[in-house]
Structure 1
Amino acid sequence: MRKHFFGSAERLHLVLMLALTFSTGVVDAMGYLGLDRVFTGNMTGNVVLLGMAMAGGTSLPILRPALALAFFMLGAALAGRLLRRNGEGWSPQTSAALLAVSLGLWALTVFVLLAPVQADPTLGSTVTSALALLMGTQAATAKRLKVAEITTVVVTSTITGLASDSRLAGGKGTFWQRRALAIALIMLGALAGAAALHVHLALALALAAVIATAVTVTGHVAHRRAEAEAKTGAESPSLARD
């Protein structure tokens, strides 16, 4: 396994996925608090909201959560098709998928900065649907990296694993550090997103865009470096024989 600043590719991928978990908290806080109570990353929340709304829940939104759910699935499907032929780990397709997420977040940042998305229902629904598309793409891409216990978009299963595998429950506490970090980071991301709303919706999106861009660039550079080292290592024996 190729070594670098983080020690190994697995550790690097863990750090990158934890960063995306934080950014999901940012985006979901922005969507729920700033754009009519809709989650764009946590689809469990949208399903529950839709159920309550259809049962006559007072003033609960239906259209935006439904659109977010549909577009999240579309984003996941598109990323799944793009990454289908690749094995586990980072690949050029991984970089392409996360680059699309990063560029999409930057485009939405500019759009939200210039357009009255909170005043115009159509524009607001466009933003939440686009965000859900990007989060679906991100979640499917993270899934292909196979980082244990990290999905970047939901922590219910992480909380369950943390508790059920804990020493208190008679377990060995496997992965407790990363599970606890994922829970803390999505909460801190939500805190950061809620705080950013006091300035502007665009600030929350810009923060998520910066994180996604950093993750994309870091992962891609590390992957290219590992490929170059592997190629050099494969050529060295033949040079030695010559």
Structure 2
Amino acid sequence: MTRPHLPDTALAVTAVLTFVTGVVDAVGYLGLDRVFTGNMTGNIVILAMGLAGADELPVLGPLVALAAFAVGACAAGFVLREPPERWSSRITALLGTGALVLAALTAALVLAGEHDTPAVQVPVAAATAAVMGQQAMVARTLAVREMTTVVVTSTLTALAGESLVRGGAEAVWNRRLGAIAAIFLGAMTGAVLIRVHPAVPMGLAAALTTSAAAAGHRLLR
């Protein structure tokens, strides 16, 4: 067996993490009172409209998620203050810790029973957002082109304004489209699985994050 091409492996790992973002955002919006746990742009908009009293939108959830995401990203930034040339044990530890938190949240959702109360929703949203902030910082450190794992607007802009303008097969079938498809399919998967129980998509997110950490540690370190 030959060693896989490192850039391709890194791309696959970040694509999985992008899929995870879609899954947990579906859980957050549908199961945690319309809170985005991965895409913070949505939270800023919801928070602003909620403060304006529009449509009884939540304020506490988006505000806590924004703060938790920033804390997670900051903590990961300190760990990765001296960026490794490629994958390092610190990246494995960060993703592994995130996977453990998601697994713990899965168990908490199972045990909570009534998951549609603020006492459950806000802490779960905060912990998930912290994991996503940490994951976003890992993605920045890996610096896989067009794969930020949490940002779709700029990716869509680049796809429409750059890729499509150039034309050819690569104008459509490229990693920009792949990133958008990954988060789209993740959100769709999360929306389907949450009908069973919110713990099911959260458990899937934990398993996929574990797999991404293991694959990166083995193949990219």
TM bucket (normalised to shorter chain) is over 0.9
Question: Contact conserved, 2:31 with 2:116, CA < 8 A, in 1?
Answer: no
Cα distance per residue 1:107-163 (max 9 Å; x no partner): 111011111352431221000000000000000011100100111112111100001
Residue 197 of structure 2 corresponds to residue 200 of structure 1: yes
Q: Tell me the CA shift for residue 52 of structure 1.
A: 1.0
Q: Alpha carbons of 1:185 and 1:223: their partners in 2 closer, same or farther (altered >3 Å)? A: closer
Q: What one-letter code is carried by the residue in structure 1 that aligns with 2:145?
A: A
Q: Distance in 1 between matches of 2:179 and 2:10?
A: 13
Please state how far the C-alpha of 1:56 moved relative to its aligned partner.
1.8
The structure showing larger relative contact order (alpha-carbon pairs under 8 Å, at least 6 residues apart) is: 2
Distance 2:191 2:157 in 1: 26
**1:139 aligns to 2:136 (yes or no):** yes
CA separation in 2, counterparts of 1:24 and 1:186? 6
Q: 1:223: Cα distance to partner?
A: 3.4
Q: Which position in structure 2 is the counterpart of 1:218?
A: 215
Q: Specify which of 42, 60, 81 is matched with residue 78 of structure 2.
A: 81
What is residue 121 of structure 1 aligned with on the other side? Answer: 118
User: Could you tell me which amino acid in structure 2 is paired with residue 152 of structure 1?
Assistant: T
Gaps of 5+ in 2: none
Deviates more, 1:88-97 or 1:23-32: 88-97
Q: Which amino acid aligns with 1:115?
A: A
5 Å matches for 1:92-131?
A: 92-116=89-113, 118-131=115-128
**Per the alignment, in what secondary structure is the counterpart of residue 148 of structure 1?**
coil
Q: Following the alignment from structure 1 to structure 2, what is the Cα–Cα distance between the partners of residues 117 and 13?
A: 39
Runs of 4+ with >3 A deviation = 170-176
CA contact (8 A) 2:68 2:130 kept: yes
What is aligned with 2:49? 52
Structure 1 gap segments, 5+ residues each: 225-242
Residue pair 1:25, 1:187 contacting (<8 A) in 2 also: yes
TM-score scaled by length of structure 1: 0.86
Match of 2:178 in 1: 181
Q: How many correspondences in the alignment?
A: 219
Q: Separation in 1 of the partners of 2:186 and 2:17? A: 10
RMSD, aligned α-carbons: 1.6
Inter-partner Cα distance in structure 1 for 2:27 and 2:173: 28
Is contact 1:165-1:171 (8 Å) kept?
no
2:158 equivalent to 1:161: yes
Which piece of structure 1 moves more, 116-125 or 103-112? Answer: 116-125
Do 1:88 and 1:146's aligned partners in 2 also have CA atoms closer than 8 Å? Answer: no
**1:78 aligned partner, one-letter code:** A
Q: Distance in 2 between matches of 1:38 and 1:109?
A: 17
SS at match of 1:166: helix
Structure 2: which amino acid aligns with 1:25? G
Letter in 2 for 1:197: I
Contact in 2 for aligned 1:162/1:176 (Cα 8 Å):
no
